[in-house]
Amino acid sequence: MADSGPVLFFDSGLGGLTVLREARYLLPYEHFLYVADDAAFPIGRWPEAELTDRILVLFEELIREHRPKAVVIACNTAFTLAGDALRKAHPQVSFVGTVPAIKPAAERTSSGLISVLATPGTVRRAYTKSLIDSFAGQCHVRLVGSDKLADLAERHLRGEAVADADLLAEISDCFLEREGRRTDIVVLACTHYPFLANRFRKIAPWPVDWLDPAEAIARQLVRVLGDKAVTVPSDHPPDRAEFTSNPQDPALVRLLAGFGLVLD
C-alpha cells in the first residue's frame, strides 16, 4: 500500500489535540490529519462490542480514503479496546497507541500510591488490569472512572465556564491517604484531561504529579516513522480535521485553527 498520506490522529473529540500538539514540536514539517468521531462522543460510556465495531468500520474507510503513513490512536478508551483488532485488520499500517501510563507511574512513585484517572470504559478494560499486573504489582493502584471529565474538558477548551466544584467532584477519589502515605501520582489516562491539568493543580487537596503521556506518544511516533518522517519544509496540503458529526461551528473552526488545522 502507498504510505505517502498524512499521519492520521484519531480521538472521539478534542482530546487527541493534546497529543497532536506534542507531535508538532517533534515533527514540525509533518503532514497531519485529525479525525474525531464526535458523533459518538463521549465514547467512555459505550458498550465494548458496539464501540469496537464502530471503530473498525470507521477505520476501513479512513485507511482506504487517506492511506495514512501512520495512525496515532490518541485515545485510551479506543486503543485499550480496539488496538489489537485494528492492528490485525490493517497489518500494513503502523499504529501508535495510547494506554494508561501505569508503568512510568510505578517507576516514579515514592509513596507507592498511584491513581489512574480515566473514562469508565478505560478503567474497566482488561488491558488496564494487565498493565497493573505486569508493571505495578508493588503499588496500590486506584482506578477512578469519570463520566463527566471528557465533556468538562471540551467545555473548558471551548471557553465555557467550568466550576471548580464540578472538577473536584470528579478527581477527589484520586487522593488517598494510607498509613502516613499519600497518593503522589495521578495518571491522566484520557487524552482530554491534560487540558484541565492546571485547573486540577489548583484544586487538588495536595500536590501530585499529573502524568500526561502525550510527549512519550509523540516520541514513539517519531520512532515508528523512522526515515519516513518529513524533516524539511515541504509543500504538502494544509493539515485538516474531520469530525464525524460534520459540525458547522465557527468557534470550532477558530479553535482548530489554533492547532494548525482546517476543519473540513
* Catalytic center residues: 75, 190
In whole angstroms, give the CA distance from residue 143 to residue 141. Answer: 6
Report if residue 123 touches ligand DGL, rule: CB under 6 A. no
User: Of 26-45, which residues contact ligand DGL (CB under 6 A)?
Assistant: 41-44
Window contacting ligand DGL (CB under 6 A); options: 6-14, 125-133, 176-184, 210-218 = 6-14
The 205-244 site mask, x for binding ligand DGL (CB under 6 A), equals ----------------------------------------
The answer to whether the beta carbons of residues 7 and 72 sit under 8 Å apart is yes
Closer residue to ligand DGL, CB minimum distance, 30 or 38: 38
In whole angstroms, give the CA distance from residue 162 to residue 205. Answer: 19
Among 6, 9, 12, 221, binds ligand DGL (CB under 6 A): 12
The answer to whether the beta carbons of residues 239 and 264 sit under 8 Å apart is no
Mark residue 180 as left, alpha or beta (left: phi above 0; alpha: psi -120 to 50; beta: remaining). Answer: left
Q: Quote the least distance from Cβ 43 to ligand DGL, whole Å.
A: 4
Q: How many CB atoms lie within 10 A of CB 179?
A: 6
Report if residue 100 touches ligand DGL, rule: CB under 6 A. no
In whole angstroms, give the CA distance from residue 206 to residue 88. Answer: 43
Report if residue 192 touches ligand DGL, rule: CB under 6 A. yes
Report if residue 150 touches ligand DGL, rule: CB under 6 A. yes
Q: Quote the least distance from Cβ 122 to ligand DGL, whole Å.
A: 6
Report if residue 76 touches ligand DGL, rule: CB under 6 A. yes
Among 94, 111, 119, 183, binds ligand DGL (CB under 6 A): 119
Closer residue to ligand DGL, CB minimum distance, 127 or 182: 127
Window contacting ligand DGL (CB under 6 A); options: 61-69, 81-89, 128-136, 185-193 = 185-193
The answer to whether the beta carbons of residues 24 and 260 sit under 8 Å apart is yes
Which alpha helices (H) appear in the chain, and where do they start and end? 17-26, 48-66, 76-89, 102-108, 120-124, 126-135, 149-157, 164-171, 197-203, 214-225, 250-257
The 209-211 sheet, strands edge to edge: 140-145, 113-118, 185-188, 209-211
Closer residue to ligand DGL, CB minimum distance, 19 or 139: 19
Name the grid cell of 74.
490518541
Report if residue 146 touches ligand DGL, rule: CB under 6 A. no
Report if residue 77 touches ligand DGL, rule: CB under 6 A. yes
Closer residue to ligand DGL, CB minimum distance, 54 or 192: 192
3-state secondary structure of 26: helix
Sites of contact with ligand DGL (CB under 6 A)? 11-13, 15, 41-44, 75-77, 119, 122, 150, 190-192
